Amino acid sequence: MTTDLTARTTDALRTLGVDVDAISGSDLDARSPLTGQSLFGLKADTAESTAQAIDAAYQAHLAWREVPAPVRGQTVARLGELLTEHKQALAELVTVEAGKIKSEALGEVQEMIDICQFAQGLSRQLYGKTMPSERAGHRLQESWHPMGVVGVISAFNFPVAVWSWNTALALVTGNAVVWKPSEATSLTAIACTALLDRAIADTEAPSDLGKLIIGDRAIGEVLVDSPKVAVVSATGSTRMGREVGPRVAARFGRSILELGGNNAAVVAPSADLAVAVPSIVFAAAGTAGQRCTSTRRLIVHESVADEVVDKLAKAYDSLAIGDPFDESTLVGPLINADSYERMQQSLAEAKEQGGELVTGGDRVEFDHAPEGHWVKPAIVRMPSQTDVVMRETFAPILYVITYTDLAEAIELHNAVPQGLSSGIFTSDQAEAERFISAAGADCGIVNVNTGTSGAEIGGAFGGEKETGGGRESGTDAWQGYMRRQTTTINYSGTVQLAQGVDFG
């Protein structure tokens, strides 16, 4: 299996324009959760080569910031074209390295194409406001300028889309990017960088606009601490964000944090279960529960709880678990053994805290991949929102708790420290409105009759509280990659001070 997978991966890399011999080395293993084994060895970066990459990106940005934004948009548009052309090959690498099923891997690449198109449109819409001045013959305006170098730290679970959200916006807004991907997904990162380099060459943009650094946290620290990196956009655990956020803040850098979620779906008595159940199954068990937006808590009205749990359990029992390359598979492997261990640990704690396992939780073993870690997605009924429920376990566990009235559901919903994504399933409009109102769910994403995962790129993506407060992708998230400049222009030929101040 590993030999086949190595050959398949090498083919995909070549199709994507990667010089496989040039990346080979012995510093780091490229692994696949499909086998749990190493595919081949890679070269890694050092603190020194990271500092060089930052310097090169900084120099590239100096030229790039003077290129008109709509022209910058052409480079990103070209990246979108190359992604469209290479969609299959890149999705194949996403499956190999992150273990995503084919359809989700293709969806992730589609998300990249979408953001490139969005960013190109945006390149003509980096609007600044003009405000009326209180002084005669004066104009007051805001304009937006590039920040410099944007450092992107990304996680294994969206190995390519999260980079593209940041990179597409950072590039059209006139920045250069230095990317530190998860060590688990170096190959997809190498492939994306090859495509970006091609887009840069095809559009005659500065060659060092998109640098990649491969390796462990030590090189990430160089990125986080470098005063040349104006913005650090980091996706990962809240624990990681607790380190990155204060370190960037200590040097007055800007950070965009997309951290842990503990997303809940509320199921009201009036919910259309034909919509609710499949939506919850996708959000909770899809991607093997490894999205930051995965549904981890089900807050269900007591009058429908048994029926909903029963329907979910039936759906869970029919989920095809296995090789993500197989079209019929819906649940692929967990990323590694640690992830499996953490899931087992949480299930044991849930039991100690009064939980009752409804279904799932056991390992599914395949002869061809003894070191792979597949699990049956689990549903656990909990007596209340205990400690284990308050915490994000990055695996397919759905904790079920019941409520009696909507106010209680909202209270339970908001009681966790994280605030990324939420959803309510209801046919009662007043209830839906209440849930999305200021007095409702406290997340960055609040859906109605739609699951917590699978957001479109057009909306700003991110969450509150321990999720970190950052926003990426749609609407005005581009402002996170630019500095705002306020300008007063005096064309009156006289001196007039604001606020009516008289200075002789």
Are residues 478 and 133 in contact, defined by beta-carbon separation less than 8 angstroms? no
Provide the pairing of β-strand 374-375 with 418-419. Answer: unpaired
Q: Determine the angle formed by the axes of helices 87-98 and 102-122, rounding to 10 degrees.
A: 120
Site string for ligand UN1, 412-451 (x = CB under 6 A): ----------------------------------------
Are residues 446 and 398 in contact, defined by beta-carbon separation less than 8 angstroms? no
Are residues 176 and 196 in contact, defined by beta-carbon separation less than 8 angstroms? no
Q: Would you give the DSSP letter of residue 483?
A: E
Residues 356-375 interacting with ligand UN1 (rule: CB under 6 A): none
**Interaction between residue 2 and ligand UN1 (CB under 6 A):** no
Residue in 177, 174, 165 with CA at minimum distance from that of residue 146: 174
Closest CB 282 distance from ligand UN1, rounded Å = 10
Judged by CB under 6 A, the stretch of 285-293, 311-319, 333-341, 398-406 that binds ligand UN1 is: 285-293
Closest CB 337 distance from ligand UN1, rounded Å = 21
Size of the site for ligand UN1 (CB under 6 A): 11
The residue with tokens 């990317």 is 179
Judged by CB under 6 A, the residue of 144, 156, 158, 282 near ligand UN1 is: 158
**Interaction between residue 162 and ligand UN1 (CB under 6 A):** yes
Q: Determine the angle formed by the axes of helices 87-98 and 186-202, rounding to 10 degrees.
A: 160
**Interaction between residue 235 and ligand UN1 (CB under 6 A):** yes
Q: Name the amino acid, one letter, at 437.
A: S
Q: Would you give the DSSP letter of residue 224?
A: H
**Cα–Cα distance, 308 to 302 (Å, whole number):** 10
Judged by CB under 6 A, the stretch of 240-248, 273-281, 375-383, 452-460 that binds ligand UN1 is: 452-460
Catalytic-residue membership of 292: yes
Of 41 and 107, nearer to ligand UN1 (C-beta) is 107
**Interaction between residue 453 and ligand UN1 (CB under 6 A):** yes
Of 13 and 256, nearer to ligand UN1 (C-beta) is 256
Of 111 and 392, nearer to ligand UN1 (C-beta) is 111
Q: What angle do CA 323, 329, 335 make, to 5 degrees?
A: 50
Judged by CB under 6 A, the stretch of 96-104, 225-233, 424-432, 453-461 that binds ligand UN1 is: 453-461
- The residue annotated as part of the active site, out of 192, 292, 443, 466, is 292
Judged by CB under 6 A, the stretch of 36-44, 245-253, 289-297, 316-324 that binds ligand UN1 is: 289-297
Q: What angle do CA 259, 164, 395 make, to 5 degrees?
A: 40
Are residues 236 and 468 in contact, defined by beta-carbon separation less than 8 angstroms? no
> What tokens were used for 52?
């060089």
Judged by CB under 6 A, the stretch of 87-95, 155-163, 214-222, 480-488 that binds ligand UN1 is: 155-163
The residue with tokens 């390992």 is 363
**Interaction between residue 291 and ligand UN1 (CB under 6 A):** yes
**Interaction between residue 157 and ligand UN1 (CB under 6 A):** yes
> What tokens were used for 99?
């273990």
Closest CB 248 distance from ligand UN1, rounded Å = 19
Closest CB 162 distance from ligand UN1, rounded Å = 6
Residues 293-322 interacting with ligand UN1 (rule: CB under 6 A): 293
Provide the pairing of β-strand 263-267 with 421-425. Answer: parallel
Are residues 393 and 265 in contact, defined by beta-carbon separation less than 8 angstroms? no
- The residue annotated as part of the active site, out of 92, 108, 183, 258, is 258
**Interaction between residue 394 and ligand UN1 (CB under 6 A):** no
Q: Determine the angle formed by the axes of helices 2-15 and 87-98, rounding to 10 degrees.
A: 140
Catalytic-residue membership of 307: no
Closest CB 447 distance from ligand UN1, rounded Å = 10
Q: Would you give the DSSP letter of residue 474?
A: S
- Active-site residue set: 258, 292
Residues near ligand UN1 (CB under 6 A): 111, 157-158, 162, 235, 291-293, 453-455
